[in-house]
Amino acid sequence: MERFEAWLSRLSTKSNFWHRVCSLVWLPYAFRSGISMRRITGKRFTAVLPFRRFNRNWYNAMAGAALLGNSEVAAGMYLFQRCGSDYIVVCKEMKYRFLRPCYGPAIYTVTNCGDLDASLELGAEFNVPLTISICQQMSRDKRERRVGECEIVFHCTPKAQAKVKRMREERSIQEAREAKKRGPAT
């Protein structure tokens, strides 16, 4: 089962098609919003959130919840691409600052603020801070207008380390059950 999960994790980061198929099952709101990966390089990552009816509010602007929620998805996709299927990635803290309304597709540019490569080489648990710049894509003049900024911290745990910890906890629970069955010590 673990090998299948690792294979599926790698597959979901290979292309937008497999990312969309996996998000349909595990992240239905991200699937409906239509966020997609655009460019992946060593230090930068770009994701695009289309300007659809599902993402708009009553004022015909991009909904704040759509901008905020997809910030975590965009940063998580970047980090998952960099860490691979050997890590469990969990959002620990997020600060979003709205600058102006967004009236077009939102472009998330994720920048790595920490030394991710050094942390990955150590192979232990670590926190990684990321900075996201959210811009509105302008259609006429091909420039971008900044609509928000986000600082987010993820906690990354190697799956092997989590498995050892889970086995240790299960063993201690089993020992407690056995001690309870034996009765109080006299």
> pLDDT tens for residues 93-122?
999 999 999 888 889 998 877 778 888 888
Q: Distance between alpha carbon 185 and the CA centroid of its chain, in Å? A: 49
- Beta carbons of 86 and 6 less than 8 angstroms apart: yes
Among 87, 65, 85, CA closest to 13: 85
Report pLDDT digits (tens) over 2-32. 778 777 777 776 776 777 787 777 777 777 7
CA separation for the pair 105, 95 (Å, rounded): 21
State the DSSP code for 62: B
CA distance to 43, 153, 175, per residue, from 46 (Å): 11, 18, 49
pTM > 0.85: yes or no = no
Report pLDDT digits (tens) over 137-161. 877 666 788 999 999 999 998 887 7
Domain-by-domain residue ranges, the chain? 35-181
Give 154 or 178, the one with higher predicted confidence: 154
pLDDT score recorded for residue 8: 76
**Cβ-count burial 62-97 (b if 16+ within 10 Å, e if not):** bbeebbebbbbbbbbbbbbbbbebebebeeeebebe
Q: Which residues pair with 89 in a beta bridge?
A: 156
Quick one: what percent of the chain has pLDDT higher than 90? Answer: 13
Q: Which CATH architecture has domain 35-181?
A: Roll (3.10)
Question: Residue 132: pLDDT band by 50, 70, 90 thresholds?
Answer: very high
CA separation for the pair 38, 16 (Å, rounded): 8
